[in-house]
Structure 1
């Protein structure tokens, strides 16, 4: 084999100097022969079959709709995109600059071939390789929709090297150096190494086998399982849990230190072996070793000098006694290769191993690294990568103009900034977010150091040995002392792993620094006795996963004193907001504070963030005078690993930045492998201004509640005691029918399931308005029943009103009762349901809290609410619970602008509303197997185009018995009638409906400020909520939209001497343009106008050379490559 390798190296070494384009296919074909890999296939006429070919065609859409054909040098589906070193304009592989007149075209100096040095000597600033990398990333974005982004990106310099970049997230975004800075560039002579050849074979044939996460989780879980057994044994022996945890963390770090040669190889393993035979010597030997590790010096235990570790881990050197069995478990854990341990999940596993309550779930319930990465990249890494792209282009421009020292200084300044950034997780747990941030910033640092080396050789790195990204920049707040200690351990293990992977060599002493970057404290409350918000350390980015506790559960989960103090410390927060929103609110305040250092924050929250109480927190900042914007949002995303022993948890992710900006809304379209350590989630991305309800487009959250809708909508009663519900037989036993007046207090009762499925035919004891004494005197059987079934539960309730008024519903809805008085029926809808259906309920029905009640008996109101005009509005406004839409009074009903009905409109819509309600009730009564949900499930199929003959047998029965075509026809006619009442076309698209309704809401709001209120039920509302004038007469008013035009601000100046600022402004202008633009167009955006066009042209030239912009017209105009 070695002779074949040597022949290949001799044949290709030195084949440099401008003929790479002619030779790359032959070079790669012969490389495949060397590695025993199949050749690329002949390209077929249809690109769909071209899964492993040279010159694979991809198409880039242009603004005029005609796509540009581009070609990938070598493509292997699900494996890699390979681009050979080159300088090209679209569709042209030749080395060239732009042609044309100087007036219209940009010059491209520095594009000529350069000679390359070997590793560590004379390496050059090779813009062609950097351009090829950016080009390859661009091609990934242009792959067909059914092609997943490949995990690898290869850049080939024929006769010299292949650079390897990887992205195992498969999201098609930035690819990073792989496997590390020292070995990502494979030179020809490296092919002599069998491990290098195997790596290339894997990239070609089994690329995912190189994903560290594929086996890291397994190794990490095995180590944690061993530690859990030792922890359990020590706890059974009577040792306090916290002492056990700290002891085992010292043991774990000692194992790691041995594996990375910070302790002599196998010294700790030998210690464990010796102690297994004599367990009684274990504590003394460990304490002596830890003394040496703390102070530095000779250790008698391992008979060798020990480096000084210091830090916090070994100041407490106490070792706990272990039996032979536990020492054996530690020895088994020490036998694992700690280079395979994944710090991003190690902390979670260790917390589970050391926590008796969590131990049974060890490894079954945790967050896969890929999910953590998704938020960290969007919050921290993407803005830094964009900034780094601008600095690279600035340095290239400076170098091309002969200003090499300035080029080096620009890159060094960015490196210095990178090493001084502060990342805060204010609910850091065991530091999985902080560690992933650390690793990804170290990866970016590697790219920066490579650029420095290319610009100035090793001399450019002088003085940077100790100036590096390290744990002191990663700040955490954590209320749990054990988790805080684990967080520090995780960061140091991760940092040292990265040090040895990227740099090699022993770090300077002390090995561990006492940075005190993890603080053990509550992030949102000083204490229940001191109800203030604590100060957070200053940070440039905030990212994390605060605790998930629903607003309604705060008092029960955290205790009355804590909840009251929390609300007192945050008086601007609604008490119903989820716990996580206190972190969101504080971060938003810091982000929008004048002079703040904070650039972005990103949080994992419950996926109920788009619901009303959470949404109000976001709305306050999105619509503020100094606003923030959501630059990335995922409304619904899996979170923890799904197994038989752990339920699926769904979350949302939001990333915010100050200012009015567009963002990326990412909606999950497929989930694969969610029960594995390497899940794959695919998204559909939409760009635009992201609203508080995590949608783009029309911002319906800007709608305001209308006075005209006041007082007639409310949730039903909330019992707070199951003893209130009785059967009809139980009601008779309690005296219904015997005690006069009791029939008014034991009433038919309906909840959400009763409406969507089939009624349970139960009743509820409603004693609203009755005193305790009156109930005992008039209805003694009822009193005793509640005394037995409700009072014990109420006595344990934290709220005094619930305890003291135990015979009355917890929430009897005092404001709803007068609105229902005198009505023969009312409208109701299920708060959380798959289908938004409104129906009439008889007045004797008591509605449950999971029903939303509209106090009207008018069939025209039912018709309007049942039309698509309202259901589309409600869907956009209401948010979801899991995947089911919710109907919120304050967002769905209160701001909804009802049409002003003529008598003709009211009659037409009313007849259809009555017919719709009657039809559904009739088919449900005639066919006991039918349900409301079942009817609308099949109606959805019909509306979506499914022919009745293609329905499954069960659905066909629903179609026939439910008379679904009549149901569809009634809805269609109702939609048309309501459209006519509004005066709008009946076929408006969803977004247009929302836009029309929002505009009408704004107009109604303006009217109400002028005293014109369009009441939904004037006979009831005016008397209670109207002005004195309105009580005398109802005002009629014409509708008319009001338009406003924002004044254009003054143009910003273009900086004259700051190269980096010039580059950043040109990049901003390119992104804002959203397409191709020329130098003159960009210059026109600045105060100096065309006077700065030459400087803009110079920046564009550097951006092109670095592969950050593309041109489709020979250099006249340029577009920013978002994949770069």
Structure 2
């Protein structure tokens, strides 16, 4: 409390007394309100809770001092904090049913009370089986009982999250209320609504009424109601991370400045960090290490010997003089090296400041961040290392690891419920314990683990699931059911890593142990871990995951067997492999992976290896999920994906995010967009998740909202029409190519230099020094440069005919080429590196041709003068026909190109092999061709005219403004600079011309101009397949018949290939498979029934399901009992009107 300026000492004393009394009085009032609430409601359980939940929750808000729910409005969209919030559930028949959330607070929680209505209301449980009201559950001990209604309510609440209306992002909390007894909290801060975990953990997620007397519990509930995101532990961890990193980075720089090796410094600091952590979780006495640091700050010469003896004691167990305490045996391999770097007073002070933070709340991923700061920047670039935000890590780990494990747990839980209902309590306990055994045997591999971010998050999420399993055991059988599990738990040895960087590998091992011990400290109240505290599992291996070099030559290394593979391999483009990793390494890599094309990105070697392991006979691997650059959908990366999707033993992409932002929080973040893919063996549908909104990317907690489409995911990461199956057409062959690639800046000259080199004076030189344009010249303003193009001349000819130009290249280009790794570049130094010999004859004789910038924000096609030499960042199309320009400029082709191409960072990329070669041009009539030509000519002339008249304008500026107008921004609302572009560039006319082109081109195809992009693409893919079949019969619709017809000799070969495909299709016959046997194992029975419901269409009953199995009616009783159990848990939906069950999707 601030003191008024100039106040006397007596006044200050009185003010402080008043403040203390006021605070104490307010606290007393809160405590009185809580006591009254507890006295009123405690013990009011049983049948009355269904009528009382609204009153109970309203009085709870009063006791907590938060607002009561508001009256519901007739306008559902206004009901952001109400009881009985209506949500719509789409039906299979296209209709929708109304369901009601007990209590909803937008952006905070969905709350469901335990069976809050009598039978017959909107929330019926399955009525075929009576659901008895459980007796009042005890506080925490042996009286606690299995409560299927609470499990059902949790499932209902999670289901309602999925049904929230558009614009309502999934809340961070789901709450289950047992009136008069407790609240259960489940959290998901990823905002994807997929899986809610016990919050904060197994020991604290259930809040009993008497817990409301605790300040921390009341604070948690108040924040749940008013600021739920403040409860996200990752935010607090991020703040602590920055504070600690600043301190330790200072020490790191000082020590490296003294000539210390970075590895020595990193290992030393990590031992210091772990000691700080051990102190705060009381593995060594509380505050003992901080006391040691304070004493050593006064006498720095004591620091090294004192700390060295402490680490010796921690390694072996024994008395630590510097801590004045007996310490446990840590062992492992971490303290085997006890070297201490001597520090001065200031450096010890920095460590003391870092130790002052509360390390119990630190995110273990902090250690990865600290290590990355210690890594040399050159090495970081060479290895392609990236740090992934936790929210993104969780997104991939949940889809790869947790979704299948939670499906397994749902099957085990339903089986246990069925057994319990049948009076087989021992069998139910055994079912849950068996699942726990399996959970403790799961192995997860990150084959590029870095400092273990993915492995640590996997560990934490498995520990959370383990908490639910242990809770179920306790509810089924009390503490007796948990007997013998003290040392049987999910531990770091299950999390396997491969990592090239030895320092990172060592830290990865430590990160896992810190995460494990942190969880132990939170959930094992007062219990100490068994000794040795650290164990040398050898689960993190320092090695190259994709290349081994034994005496027999380069090979692919074997990976450890695992149930799941997840991670973020290094991002290095295929074209950069040789330069970034060295020619020797690149050649060895290609030798070890001969089936991979040399243009594939480095990450694809991990993707392909994981896919190969997934389909091995008897494979243990169930799924893999990897982060890649979003170029995975490009042609050179897609080839690896296509090969695996189309193999005789295929894989399927079961989850994909094609284009996901990367964090901007890091100072040296990678300026890329990423893709995530999760893969299973077999042919299956998947969930395509695309970014719907994103914000906060510059913060520690970026938010990315996704929308989902379910279907078969193609190799280009689309659902629906498979653009990856579109075939290159002979009709388009030979007309499109990237421009020339110089490989030598000396080829570029100004007009003044060109004149000095003989232009206008040396006969024929005008054909070899030509205007030269690159991508920026087209989208911005042209530089007005020229290029020396001696294609077609030998060195002797060039020297004899154009000596000045030849000498210029000898001086400016040859020295650079002499150092180039490629033999052809060194040998032909006077020629462009990539002269595009295939494009030149196509352009010969044309007065103009079409060009587009390969990677650009806006896909714009325009005519260039035939004399202009295009750069390799331009895609040239050898046609001077405005009909082709018009079709390419239409929305039809734009949609095709956007889906068929890829992106670089956030800019669409135009690949001639995927965007142009397979694209089917319309079979337009002469009238339609003339109309398209006329509008296209007008469009091209309009753009050239406004750009020539206004030198301050660029093509990008014109289309930036046009994009805003298309988004609904009015011209009058544009800011002044863009308003000028609109006026001077006549952008409204530009938009009108494009609309006309869109209409006439759509008409030429025979469809409406307002078709969705997806519908147009589906029709274009079908047209591509039709044209490919025509070409196989020799019917080719050449775009330039006079040029193309004489040079194509491929129809016979295409016809043979097509005939072969038809023969294969005729020989393949489909036979109805025999019915499968119904499993004997009870959990397998439940899983089989759940899978059948998931894959089925309409709701089905026990009789209908039994008919699908060989046993038929003999299995019906078991199926019916399982369906009943699933219904009681809320895992299946049914109504009085429907005679069957349908699985609720998670």
The TM-score normalised by the length of structure 1 is 0.92
For 1:985 and 1:29, how far apart are their aligned partners in 2? 55
- Aligned position for 2:84: 55
Output one character per residue of 1:406-439: Cα deviation in whole Å (capped at 9) or x when no partner.
2112111111111111111111111011100000
Q: 1:784 to 1:375 in 2, by over 3 A?
A: same
How far apart are 1:478 and its partner, in Å?
0.6
For 1:550 and 1:90, how far apart are their aligned partners in 2? 61
Q: 1:870 to 1:95 in 2, by over 3 A?
A: closer
Q: 1:281 to 1:405 in 2, by over 3 A?
A: same
For 2:120 and 2:194, how far apart are their aligned partners in 1? 23
- Aligned position for 1:245: 266
**2:856 matches 1:833:** yes
- Aligned position for 2:106: 77
- Aligned position for 1:465: 486
1:605 to 623, 628, 633: 628
- Aligned position for 1:640: 663
- Aligned position for 1:732: 755
Q: Secondary structure at the match of 2:869?
A: strand
- Aligned position for 1:101: none
Output one character per residue of 1:544-603: Cα deviation in whole Å (capped at 9) or x when no partner.
111111111111111111111111211221212211111111111112223211111111
Q: Secondary structure at the match of 1:609?
A: helix
1:349 to 370, 384, 400: 370
- Aligned position for 1:752: 775
- Aligned position for 1:1068: 1091
- Aligned position for 1:27: 56
- Aligned position for 1:420: 441
For 2:992 and 2:255, how far apart are their aligned partners in 1? 72
Output one character per residue of 1:1051-1106: Cα deviation in whole Å (capped at 9) or x when no partner.
54252522212211222222223664444444444445555443333222111111
Output one character per residue of 1:152-202: Cα deviation in whole Å (capped at 9) or x when no partner.
222111222111111122222221111111121112222232222222222
For 2:811 and 2:741, how far apart are their aligned partners in 1? 19
- Larger deviation, residues 650-659 vs 298-307: 298-307
How far apart are 1:365 and its partner, in Å?
8.8
- Aligned position for 1:103: none
For 2:858 and 2:815, how far apart are their aligned partners in 1? 38
Q: 1:211 to 1:908 in 2, by over 3 A?
A: closer
2:847 to 800, 816, 824: 824
Contact residue 386 and residue 570 of structure 2 kept, 8 A: no
Q: 1:797 to 1:31 in 2, by over 3 A?
A: same
2:873 to 846, 850, 864: 850
For 1:296 and 1:944, how far apart are their aligned partners in 2? 68
- Aligned position for 1:573: 596
Structure 2 stretches lacking a partner, 5+ long: 1-27
- Aligned position for 1:676: 699
Q: Which has the higher contact order (CA 8 A, sep 6+)?
A: 1
- Larger deviation, residues 325-334 vs 806-815: 325-334
Spell out the pairing of 1:1088-1107 with structure 2 (5 A cutoff). 1088-1089=1111-1112, 1092-1107=1115-1130
Contact residue 629 and residue 690 of structure 1 kept, 8 A: yes
**2:148 matches 1:114:** no
How far apart are 1:348 and its partner, in Å?
1.7
**2:97 matches 1:68:** yes
- Larger deviation, residues 1005-1014 vs 474-483: 1005-1014
For 2:72 and 2:80, how far apart are their aligned partners in 1? 9
How far apart are 1:261 and its partner, in Å?
1.6
For 2:965 and 2:278, how far apart are their aligned partners in 1? 65
For 2:130 and 2:574, how far apart are their aligned partners in 1? 61
- Larger deviation, residues 124-133 vs 276-285: 276-285
How far apart are 1:743 and its partner, in Å?
0.8
For 2:588 and 2:977, how far apart are their aligned partners in 1? 55
Contact residue 665 and residue 700 of structure 2 kept, 8 A: no
1:594 to 607, 617, 628: 617
Spell out the pairing of 1:1078-1093 with structure 2 (5 A cutoff). 1078-1089=1101-1112, 1092-1093=1115-1116
- Aligned position for 2:10: none
For 2:964 and 2:373, how far apart are their aligned partners in 1? 46
How far apart are 1:762 and its partner, in Å?
1.7
How far apart are 1:392 and its partner, in Å?
0.8
Output one character per residue of 1:1013-1063: Cα deviation in whole Å (capped at 9) or x when no partner.
4433333334333269999xxxxx9xx9x9999846425425252221221
**2:38 matches 1:16:** no
Spell out the pairing of 1:73-152 with structure 2 (5 A cutoff). 73-86=102-115, 92=121, 98=127, 107-152=128-173
How far apart are 1:752 and its partner, in Å?
2.0
For 1:32 and 1:458, how far apart are their aligned partners in 2? 34
Contact residue 53 and residue 116 of structure 2 kept, 8 A: no
Contact residue 393 and residue 1106 of structure 1 kept, 8 A: yes
Spell out the pairing of 1:487-566 with structure 2 (5 A cutoff). 487-504=508-525, 505-527=527-549, 530-566=553-589
**2:799 matches 1:776:** yes
For 2:635 and 2:86, how far apart are their aligned partners in 1? 48
For 1:489 and 1:816, how far apart are their aligned partners in 2? 57
- Aligned position for 1:175: 196
Q: 1:232 to 1:753 in 2, by over 3 A?
A: closer
Q: 1:984 to 1:73 in 2, by over 3 A?
A: closer
**2:832 matches 1:803:** no
Number of aligned residue pairs: 1105
Q: 1:191 to 1:852 in 2, by over 3 A?
A: same
Q: 1:475 to 1:158 in 2, by over 3 A?
A: same
Q: 1:958 to 1:91 in 2, by over 3 A?
A: farther
Q: 1:643 to 1:73 in 2, by over 3 A?
A: same
Contact residue 173 and residue 185 of structure 2 kept, 8 A: yes
Q: 1:265 to 1:776 in 2, by over 3 A?
A: same
Contact residue 176 and residue 185 of structure 2 kept, 8 A: yes
Contact residue 345 and residue 368 of structure 1 kept, 8 A: no
- Aligned position for 2:914: 891
For 1:476 and 1:220, how far apart are their aligned partners in 2? 24
Spell out the pairing of 1:438-449 with structure 2 (5 A cutoff). 438-449=459-470
Contact residue 1133 and residue 1142 of structure 2 kept, 8 A: yes
Q: Secondary structure at the match of 2:365?
A: helix
- Aligned position for 2:4: none
The RMSD of aligned alpha carbons is: 3.1
Contact residue 90 and residue 1111 of structure 1 kept, 8 A: no
Q: Secondary structure at the match of 2:326?
A: strand
Spell out the pairing of 1:341-380 with structure 2 (5 A cutoff). 341-353=362-374, 355=376, 366-380=387-401
- Aligned position for 2:675: 652
How far apart are 1:143 and its partner, in Å?
2.3
For 2:512 and 2:332, how far apart are their aligned partners in 1? 12
How far apart are 1:463 and its partner, in Å?
1.9
Contact residue 1054 and residue 1062 of structure 1 kept, 8 A: no
- Aligned position for 1:102: none
Contact residue 99 and residue 123 of structure 2 kept, 8 A: no
- Larger deviation, residues 994-1003 vs 912-921: 912-921
- Larger deviation, residues 112-121 vs 172-181: 112-121
How far apart are 1:962 and its partner, in Å?
5.7
Q: 1:231 to 1:754 in 2, by over 3 A?
A: closer
Spell out the pairing of 1:656-667 with structure 2 (5 A cutoff). 656-667=679-690
How far apart are 1:479 and its partner, in Å?
0.5
Spell out the pairing of 1:992-1071 with structure 2 (5 A cutoff). 992-1026=1015-1049, 1047=1070, 1049-1050=1072-1073, 1052-1071=1075-1094
How far apart are 1:33 and its partner, in Å?
3.1
- Aligned position for 1:431: 452
Q: Secondary structure at the match of 1:112?
A: coil
Contact residue 226 and residue 329 of structure 1 kept, 8 A: yes
- Aligned position for 1:273: 294
Contact residue 87 and residue 128 of structure 1 kept, 8 A: no
How far apart are 1:779 and its partner, in Å?
2.3
- Aligned position for 1:104: none
Q: Secondary structure at the match of 2:688?
A: strand
Contact residue 89 and residue 1112 of structure 1 kept, 8 A: no
Q: Secondary structure at the match of 1:73?
A: strand
